[in-house]
């Protein structure tokens, strides 16, 4: 925990500093949600097709999912999503003429969540 997944449009691949974003995001999760640094894990998933409304071109999407164990207040979760959006502004530079749609959510992991490390 936390489990972080970042879905992003392939048009952003060159303008998205993913390693820098992950490092900054991990620091924010530690600071805001009291996570332990070695527990922060982020996976990036590039998507091939993005459609916004009726348009299949000219748009790019980044959505950050953060799964945390229960116990954080709604205020803490809101502070974290705001921090994520600010980090996306810093680390994602879309190409000219590309509209960026960025979003984030923090959710609680189901009580059935388990993990192992090998």
Domains and CATH numbers, the chain: 3-108 (3.30.429.10)
According to the model, what pLDDT value does residue 29 have?
A: 97
> Alpha carbon of 75 to those of 5, 57, 66, 79: distances in Å?
21, 36, 15, 6
What was the pLDDT predicted at 4?
98
Neighbouring residues of 36: CB distance < 8 A, sequence distance ≥ 6: 30
Residue 20 has a pLDDT of 98
Q: How many degrees, rounded to 5, is the angle at CA 102 between CA 51 and CA 23? A: 130
Measured distance CA(59)–CA(76) in Å, rounded: 30
pLDDT of residue 57: 84
The residue ranges of the chain whose pLDDT is under 70 are none
């Amino acid at each position: 925990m936390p489990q972080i997944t970042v879905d992003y449009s392939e048009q952003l691949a060159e303008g998205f500093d993913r390693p820098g974003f992950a490092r900054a995001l991990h620091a924010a999760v530690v600071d805001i949600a009291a996570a332990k640094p070695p527990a922060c894990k982020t996976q990036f998933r590039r998507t091939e097709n993005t459609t916004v409304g009726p348009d299949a071109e000219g748009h790019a999407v980044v959505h950050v999912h953060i799964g945390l164990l229960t116990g954080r207040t709604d205020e803490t979760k809101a502070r974290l999503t705001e921090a994520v959006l600010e980090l996306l502004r810093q680390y994602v530079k879309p190409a000219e003429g590309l509209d960026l749609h960025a979003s984030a959510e923090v959710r609680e992991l189901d009580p059935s969540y388990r993990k192992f490390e090998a």
